[in-house]
Amino acid sequence: MVSLTADLSPLRPDRNLAMELVRATEAAAIRAVPFIGRGAKEAADGAAVDAMRAFLGTVAFQGRVVIGEGEKDNAPMLFNGEEVGTGTGPACDIAVDPIDGTSLTAAGRQNALSVIAVSDRGSMLDASSVFYMDKLVTGPAGVGVVDIRLPIGENIRKLAGALGKPVDEIVVSVLNRPRHEKLIQEIRDAGAGTRLMSDGDVAGGINAARHAARTDMCVGVGGSPEGIVTACAIKALGGHIQGRLWPRDDEERQRGIDAGLDMDKVYEADDLVRGDNTIFVATGVTDGQLVAGVRREGGYIYTESVVLRGASGTLRRIASEHLVSKWL
């Protein structure tokens, strides 16, 4: 296996790989633009997948999709097990979500992203057999302080103490779903505020872990793939993430057990993605707290992206101008 940070390797990609991956998320975001607010989430996702796949094919790495959206027979989705890249360079696990927030895109709402996460081959947990995961994400102040096994009120009080702020200034992000009605009430009963998300809990988790963010914690049941992707970003932010698999029925629970997953385990950050050798890139499709969405002005298309590298603990912002004529 070639490490993403192997100093002596002639194939060392370091930050260059991250920059190449940004081209793929930019392309996916740009291709989704005609569908924003048009109510056609499948069409938006299909256009983004096609663009992402085409650009990933030009990247000098041996990427294997561990977390995709579909299976091989359901093209054009990037499917689990698909090989991407030129076949040269480092061997990597890759998680893709050409649009995290297809419903957001279709409705023209905020926080839709195009996302890719990469780590060393064999380091990502494959939780694809269980669709949902219960997650808890905070910034660095929550490390060693909060725990998903504790009641939410206790975690809020502990985090408030670690941050040195009153409980009534704590803001918790939660997906706005019927399954979270009790959780939302418990957060409010504890004295904290809520920020209800209609979709897109990758952005919610990252925003909770960022320095000087508007939210302090992200909790609740969302997609298992999104949990792995978020963990890659949290490695660069020094934050806290835990997850517990949340099977919907006995059949799904058994599928997870058969796949080697532990239904009772609290998965820590290093269980979700081993090591700090991670790269996370995201380009805004629609405007949000993390990045601005794609916009077109005259003959130019403007995109904003973020690159987070676990090895260096950095978050970089990339603002790009694209000639419209090159995308026709």
Tokens of 107: 């409705």
DSSP for residue 70:
B
Tokens of 74: 């359901």
Note whether 224 and 245 are within 8 A (CB). Answer: yes
Tokens of 36: 């924003």
Question: Is 100 assigned a ligand-binding role in the annotation?
Answer: yes
Question: Is 247 assigned a ligand-binding role in the annotation?
Answer: no
Q: Does the bond joining 225 to the residue before it have cis omega, within 30 degrees of 0?
A: no
Question: Is 243 assigned a ligand-binding role in the annotation?
Answer: no
Question: Is 147 assigned a ligand-binding role in the annotation?
Answer: no
Question: Is 179 assigned a ligand-binding role in the annotation?
Answer: yes
- Cα separation, 218 vs 10, whole angstroms: 40
Question: Is 57 assigned a ligand-binding role in the annotation?
Answer: no
- Cα separation, 231 vs 188, whole angstroms: 27
- Cα separation, 256 vs 6, whole angstroms: 34
H helices, E strands: number in the chain = 9, 14
Question: Is 126 assigned a ligand-binding role in the annotation?
Answer: no
**Three-class DSSP category at 191:** coil
Token look-up 């809520």 returns 194
Provide the residue type at 180 as one letter: H
Question: Is 300 assigned a ligand-binding role in the annotation?
Answer: no
Question: Is 102 assigned a ligand-binding role in the annotation?
Answer: yes
Question: Is 223 assigned a ligand-binding role in the annotation?
Answer: yes
Paired sense of beta strands 300-309 and 267-268, if any: unpaired
Note whether 117 and 230 are within 8 A (CB). Answer: no
Question: Is 139 assigned a ligand-binding role in the annotation?
Answer: no
- Cα separation, 83 vs 313, whole angstroms: 28
Question: Is 226 assigned a ligand-binding role in the annotation?
Answer: yes
Question: Is 249 assigned a ligand-binding role in the annotation?
Answer: no
Q: What is the dihedral of CA 153, 155, 161, 163, to 10 degrees?
A: -120
Q: CB 164: neighbour CB atoms within 10 A?
A: 7
- Cα separation, 53 vs 94, whole angstroms: 12
- Cα separation, 128 vs 18, whole angstroms: 25
- The binding site for substrate consists of 100-102, 132, 177-179, 199-201, 223
- The binding site consists of 45, 69, 97, 100-102, 132, 177-179, 199-201, 223, 226
- The binding site for Mn(2+) consists of 45, 69, 97, 100, 226
